[in-house]
Structure 1
Amino acid sequence: MAKLSALICAHNEEQRLPACLAALSFCDEIVVVADRCSDGTEAIARQCGATVVSGIFPIEGPRKHAGIARCTGDWILELDADEGVTPAFAQEVRETIAREDAADWYQIPVDNYVGDQLVRHGWGGSFGTSSVARLFRHGHKSWKAERVHPGAKLEGRFGGRLTQPIQHMVDEDIADMFARLGRYTALRAQDLADSGKIKGVADDAFRGVRRFFKCYVSRKGYKEGELGFLISLMAALYPILSNLRAREILRGRARALGTERPIATPAPLPLRAKAVQ
């Protein structure tokens, strides 16, 4: 039988990790990458029999690659600590990788929850996804070096989309959504500042409108009511805020190096003597 490894990257996830690991008993091994953890994440992972990779991984690509290097399975299933799977999902995955004509990688649908509300529509624009390429043969997936949402390279034959979803607790509430937007744009801003690929305000605005339309109309975010509108709005704000924060980073770097151009202030107008009547 094909050997299946589960890969989880976690940062201070002692509250959610036990349930996630318990649901992965159908895998032959579990590898947990403990990134800068200061809580009980590593201890919990070891108690559950997982292989633990401990270190400092500020960029997602190297974090994933460090975990992949410790996986010994023929197949790898990626999960996050805030995700879970059902027995039906486990059965479908095992049946899929056991087929003689199995492809090299598969898309998996995602059921996204905000609190206890299942939100099926409107995800996109770097603020969420309804389908992910998380099941693949060892050596057939690699990641780029971005800090957030790194591009992934998938090699080999695509096998289509599974039917059973991953269950993803995206946000606890609306406040959590805003906090996530702040984290994402801060990380994206660092990537933009490092690369110098910062867009202008007009381009940002155009991309924002396009993203809102895609999420709210094309991906039917309107069906989710207020949450659908909010998700679409945050997807639209993502590039705008990321670029604004990137410009802020560059100004800070320039000040530190003493190369920032001072803002020119106009010379005061000369006072005119009042005519004596």
Structure 2
Amino acid sequence: MRAAVPISACIITFNEADRIGDCIASLAFCDEVIVVDSQSTDATATIAQQLGARVLQRPFDGFRSQKQFAVEQATHDWVLCLDADERVGDALRGAIEAARDRGFDDAAGYRFARLSEYFGKFLRRGNAYPDRVLRLFDRRRGGWRGSREVHEAASVDGPVRTLHGDLIHYPYRSLEQQLLKTQRYARMMAEHDFARGKRATVAKLVLSPAWRFWRGYLLRLGFLDGWHGLVYAYVRANYVRQKTIMLWMLQHGQPVTTPDR
């Protein structure tokens, strides 16, 4: 009988004391858990260590960089990457274990759907789902590559297969947190796009937010998720609006953050 391929689970954290425990618990089938913490001021690191994780401290310099650092610290070549607000669902765990029993012989990496909870309801339509992400891969054939530090994505050289089951996602503690988070991401994306030579136009300012809303709410049936789907679609459209406005301001020589005095 072929020995099971070992898996290293990699998590990045900052002040996730209320969520890191459930995340690590869902990774009990992995052979090790690595937590790269950005110098949390709460009990995140202590809780992770008590649950058997190997905790490393590293100043935060970008989501992609932090995740790639975690992958590089893994003992094993097959890595499963999660954020602290994510958990491996039961069906997904079964699919991962089945693929491992086959020696991961059909792919260099695996993607799966991410199911997000949104203020008391799991969103199963619209732009929120299935939101497939590549999180399980052979680090010898890929990783968190590129220069974009926000909305980062792993990639591999070789075939990618889709596994059954969901990665359960609890992205927001409050609406305020979501609004602040999306504004931060909008700024980071605008700065990234500006540095790459991308420019906003009047048409994009007017049409892109509207298209994001109607694509998710109508074409992808987000309205079937009730008021949760409506609010989600509206906030995501607002993210596109903020990003495009910030890019417009940058290309006209205007700051998008308050200058240091």
Same-fold status (TM-score > 0.5): yes
Contact in 2 for aligned 1:193/1:246 (Cα 8 Å): yes
Question: 1:118-197 to 2 correspondence within 5 Å?
Answer: 118-123=122-127, 130-139=131-140, 140-159=142-161, 161-197=162-198
Report how many aligned residue pairs link the two structures. 253
Contact in 2 for aligned 1:114/1:173 (Cα 8 Å): no
Change (3 A) 1:22 1:151: closer
Indicate yes or no: 2:30 matched with 1:27: yes
Residue equivalent to 1:261: none
Deviation at 1:89, TM superposition (A): 2.9
Indicate yes or no: 2:108 matched with 1:104: yes
Identity %: 27
Contact in 1 for aligned 2:91/2:164 (Cα 8 Å): no
Contact in 2 for aligned 1:75/1:97 (Cα 8 Å): no
Deviation at 1:222, TM superposition (A): 1.3
Pairing partner for 2:75 from 52, 72, 77: 72
Deviation at 1:129, TM superposition (A): 5.9
Tell me, in whole angstroms, the C-alpha distance in 2 between the residues paired with 1:229 and 1:199: 26
Change (3 A) 1:177 1:147: same
Moved more, 29-38 or 142-151: 142-151
Tell me, in whole angstroms, the C-alpha distance in 2 between the residues paired with 1:167 and 1:110: 6
TM-score by length of 1: 0.81
Question: 1:29-108 to 2 correspondence within 5 Å?
Answer: 29-100=32-103, 101-108=105-112
Residue equivalent to 1:9: 12
Tell me, in whole angstroms, the C-alpha distance in 1 between the residues paired with 2:153 and 2:106: 24
- Partner SS for 1:37: coil
AA of the residue aligned to 2:99: T
Contact in 1 for aligned 2:200/2:247 (Cα 8 Å): no
Aligned-pair Cα RMSD in Å: 2.6
Moved more, 35-44 or 73-82: 35-44
Tell me, in whole angstroms, the C-alpha distance in 2 between the residues paired with 1:180 and 1:129: 21
- Partner SS for 1:150: coil
Tell me, in whole angstroms, the C-alpha distance in 2 between the residues paired with 1:68 and 1:35: 15
For residues 1-40 of structure 1, the C-alpha deviation after alignment (integer angstroms, 9 at most, x for no partner) is 2011111111111111112112211100111111242222
For residues 218-272 of structure 1, the C-alpha deviation after alignment (integer angstroms, 9 at most, x for no partner) is 221111122212222222222321132345564239x97xxxxxxxxxxxxxxxx
Q: Which has more radius of gyration? A: 1
Contact in 2 for aligned 1:216/1:232 (Cα 8 Å): yes
- Partner SS for 1:42: helix
AA of the residue aligned to 1:37: S
Tell me, in whole angstroms, the C-alpha distance in 1 between the residues paired with 2:226 and 2:247: 32
Deviation at 1:208, TM superposition (A): 1.9
AA of the residue aligned to 1:145: S
Deviation at 1:120, TM superposition (A): 0.9
- Partner SS for 2:165: coil
Change (3 A) 1:201 1:230: farther
TM-score by length of 2: 0.86
AA of the residue aligned to 1:114: Y
Deviation at 1:137, TM superposition (A): 1.5
Change (3 A) 1:151 1:20: closer
Structure 2 gaps of 5+ residues are: none
- Partner SS for 1:45: helix
Tell me, in whole angstroms, the C-alpha distance in 2 between the residues paired with 1:153 and 1:214: 26
Tell me, in whole angstroms, the C-alpha distance in 1 between the residues paired with 2:96 and 2:195: 39
For residues 138-191 of structure 1, the C-alpha deviation after alignment (integer angstroms, 9 at most, x for no partner) is 2323332223202443221122x2222111112234444323322322322332
Deviation at 1:132, TM superposition (A): 1.1
- Partner SS for 1:180: helix
